[in-house]
Amino acid sequence: MCRWIAYRGKPIALEQYVTAPVHSLIEQSRKAQESSDSLNGDGFGLGWYGEKREPGVYREIRPAWSDENLRHLARHIRSHLFFGHVRASTGTQITRPNCHPFAYDRWLFMHNGQIGDWSLIRRKVEELIPDTYYNSRLGTTDSEAVFLAILGAGADKDVVGATSRVLAVIAEIVRASGSREPVRFTAALSDGKRMFAFRFATDDTATSLYYWDAGDHVVVVSEPLDQDRSHWKPVPPGHYIIAGDGPVSLKPFPYDARLAAAAE
């Protein structure tokens, strides 16, 4: 499974959390500790917000540990809200358009997990993407498809509601396909002001997620960046985080339990 980090707070250099820590994303790309895949070498990406409305994005197919540009970019880019992601492919090609994070207009998205048996359900999931958004689909991953489906389901008005509706429909698509593969959705989404992070699965194996609320900033990670775990709080399965201008909120994910049960 992939590993990622999301940050919101005072503007800082990306290196503070992406490359500098003892167990940074670079280290997790070659030796993850809480993943079924210890190696996450199928590309990486950065996404950040600066002076423009839309985010900047840098994605590369080389492993994070072998790209010298990553350290240079992380040292010199400063942002109040940024994403970092190292990828372990679940079957789709290792191409730049398939690397996370994905961007559309002012939105950023990244994902760790799987969406059922993608080979069986890809066409039906892509049918959830309105034409307006489908023209922006550049890759072939389940992650990008779910991102665009969420935007098309009304994320502009209600991020959590749109995400819940899309995952409920996808769970039913997976069930109807006859696949016993789960929907695992540990993801981050941002509109440039707020940051949302979700930990959800239709089985009991939601992929790991932690957060650190440091008062003036919040960091959400797939696994802690250091050996001191006292300040890292696990996000319970079936919960989500909102980090905006006020206090960080941790809430149960309002998922349709009937469809969740049907997908098991």
d(CA 135, CA 18): 31
> What pLDDT, on the 0 to 100 scale, is given for residue 92?
84
130-155 tens-digit pLDDT: 999 999 999 999 999 999 999 999 99
Q: Give the domains, in start order, of the chain with CATH numbers.
A: 3-263 (3.60.20.10)
> In the structure, what pLDDT confidence band is assigned to residue 35 with cuts at 50, 70 and 90?
confident
Check: CB of residue 83 under 8 Å from CB of residue 6. Answer: yes
For residue 256, the model assigns a pLDDT of: 56
Task: Please pick, among 1, 2, 18, 195, the residue that the annotation labels catalytic.
Answer: 2
**The pLDDT of residue 37 is above 80:** no
Q: What is the pLDDT of residues 65-110, one digit of tens each?
A: 999 899 999 999 999 999 999 998 877 889 999 999 999 999 999 9
Q: Which three-class secondary structure state does DSSP give residue 46?
A: strand
Q: What does the pLDDT read at residue 119?
A: 93
Tokens of 261: 């049960």
Structure tokens at 78: 């400063």
Are the C-beta atoms of residues 256 and 164 closer than 8 Å to each other? yes
- Residue pLDDT, tens place only, 163-186: 999 999 999 999 999 999 999 999
Q: Is 2 a catalytic residue?
A: yes
pLDDT at 38: 73
Dump pLDDT digits (tens) for 15-29: 999 999 999 999 999
Q: Is the pLDDT of residue 263 over 50?
A: no
Percent of the chain with pLDDT over 90: 83
Per-residue model confidence (pLDDT) at position 257: 47
Question: What is the SS3 assignment for 40?
Answer: coil
Question: Residue 241 in contact with residue 247, Cβ under 8 Å?
Answer: no
What pLDDT, in 10s, does the model give residues 206-230?
999 999 999 899 999 999 999 888 8
Q: Using the CB atoms, write b or e for 103-121: b if 16+ within 10 Å.
A: bbeebbbbbbbbbbbbeeb
Q: What is the pLDDT of residue 1?
A: 73
